[in-house]
């Protein structure tokens, strides 16, 4: 859970950084996307191999993450027993309380995200799938306010999930050695979650407000 989660957080950070290229322009953005799909590690690997190795790796992480979640959820339902008439939590945050539901929300919206931008096959108003022109897809999708809204929910869920997940993953790996370390981890978790939210929401907002 912890290890795969951290891998996915690292991927999200890279993804978020890549998205910001949309502010540079169509050519730069499409070149970057093309490079990711075909050129990464080129002389070592043949054209287009890296992306598939990476996809398989990410998917494995995701599947393991979900598998751990399912077994832990089952254990937790058994461990919790019958529910209290009243519960008064002292520490639980919204993020940690809805961690699993946030994850399921993410998984659903991720599927939509992949259908829209990677696999193709869905059309929403001005948006349609255009192979090899992610920039046009980006503009087409996010010039519609309601897609930006759904995306904001998606990214909001990411932000909350990562906020607790980042801290929890490092705690599970044993780095939470004391109150000081816990505070540092929490501050870092808020920072990473905030960075992801800002980095992911800015490009679509830019498109919507006509700044791109």
Partner 1 sequence: MKITLKVWRQANKDAAGSMVTYQLDGVSENSSFLEMLDMLNEQLTSQNQEPVAFDYDCREGICGMCGIVINGSAHGRYESDVATTTCQLHMRSFRDGDVIEVEPWRTGAFPVVKDLVVDRSAFDRIIQAGGFISVNTGSAPEAHSTPAPKRQADRAFDVATCIGCGACVAACPNGAGMLFTSAKITHLANLPQGQPERRLRVKAMIAAHDENGFGGCQNVGECASVCPKEIPLESIAQLNRDLIASMFRGDGKSTD
Q: Should residue 121 be labelled a site residue for partner 1 when binding is judged by CB under 8 A?
A: no
What does R_g of the chain's alpha carbons equal in angstroms?
19
Taking the least distance from each CB to partner 1, the nearer of 84 and 146 is: 84
Q: Which of 84, 131, 209, 210 touches partner 1 (CB under 8 A)? A: 84
Q: Should residue 184 be labelled a site residue for partner 1 when binding is judged by CB under 8 A?
A: no
Q: Which of 27, 43, 44, 81 touches partner 1 (CB under 8 A)? A: 81
CA gap 38, 49 in Å, rounded: 7
Range 28-67, binding partner 1 (CB under 8 A): none
3-state SS string over the chain?
A: CHHHHHHHHHHHHHHHHHHHHHHCCHHHHHHHHHHHHHHCCCCCCCCCHHHHHHHHHHHHHHHHHHHHHHHHHHHHHHHHCCCCCCCCCCCCCHHHHCHHHHHHHHHHHHHHHHHHHHHCCCCECCECCCCCCHHHHHHHHHCCHHHHHHHHHHHHHHHHHHHHHHHHHHHHCCCCCCHHHHHHHHHHHHHHHHHHHHHHHHHHHHHHCCCC
**At closest approach, how far in Å is the CB of 59 from partner 1?**
24
**At closest approach, how far in Å is the CB of 5 from partner 1?**
12
**At closest approach, how far in Å is the CB of 26 from partner 1?**
44
Range 150-169, binding partner 1 (CB under 8 A): 164, 167-168
Q: Which of 176, 184, 202, 205 touches partner 1 (CB under 8 A)? A: 176
Q: Should residue 94 be labelled a site residue for partner 1 when binding is judged by CB under 8 A?
A: no
**At closest approach, how far in Å is the CB of 145 from partner 1?**
36
**At closest approach, how far in Å is the CB of 96 from partner 1?**
5
Q: Should residue 210 be labelled a site residue for partner 1 when binding is judged by CB under 8 A?
A: no
CA gap 158, 156 in Å, rounded: 5
Q: Which of 27, 43, 86, 121 touches partner 1 (CB under 8 A)? A: 86
**At closest approach, how far in Å is the CB of 185 from partner 1?**
10
Contact 167, 185 (CB under 8 A): yes
Give the interface with partner 1 as residue ranges (CB under 8 A). 72, 75-93, 96-97, 99, 164, 167-168, 171-179, 181-182
């Amino acid at each position: 859970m912890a290890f795969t989660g951290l891998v996915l957080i690292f991927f999200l950070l890279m993804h978020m950084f890549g998205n910001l290229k949309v502010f540079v322009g169509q050519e730069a953005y499409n070149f970057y996307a093309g490079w990711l799909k075909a050129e990464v590690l080129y002389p070592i690997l043949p054209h287009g191999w890296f992306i598939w190795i990476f996809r398989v790796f990410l998917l494995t992480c995701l599947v393991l993450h979900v598998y751990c979640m399912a077994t832990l959820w089952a254990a937790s339902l058994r461990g919790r027993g019958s529910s209290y008439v009243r519960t008064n939590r002292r520490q639980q945050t919204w993020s940690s309380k809805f961690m699993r539901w946030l994850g399921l929300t993410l998984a659903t919206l991720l599927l939509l995200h992949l259908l829209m931008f990677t696999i193709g096959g869905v059309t929403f108003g001005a948006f349609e799938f255009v192979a090899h022109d992610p920039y046009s897809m980006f503009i087409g999708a996010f010039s519609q306010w309601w897609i930006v809204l759904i995306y904001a929910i998606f990214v909001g869920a990411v932000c909350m999930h990562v906020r607790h997940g980042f801290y929890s993953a490092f705690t599970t790996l044993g780095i939470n050695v004391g109150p000081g370390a816990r505070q540092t981890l929490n501050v870092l978790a808020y920072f990473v979650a905030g960075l992801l939210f800002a980095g992911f929401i800015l490009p679509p907002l830019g498109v919507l407000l006509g700044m791109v």
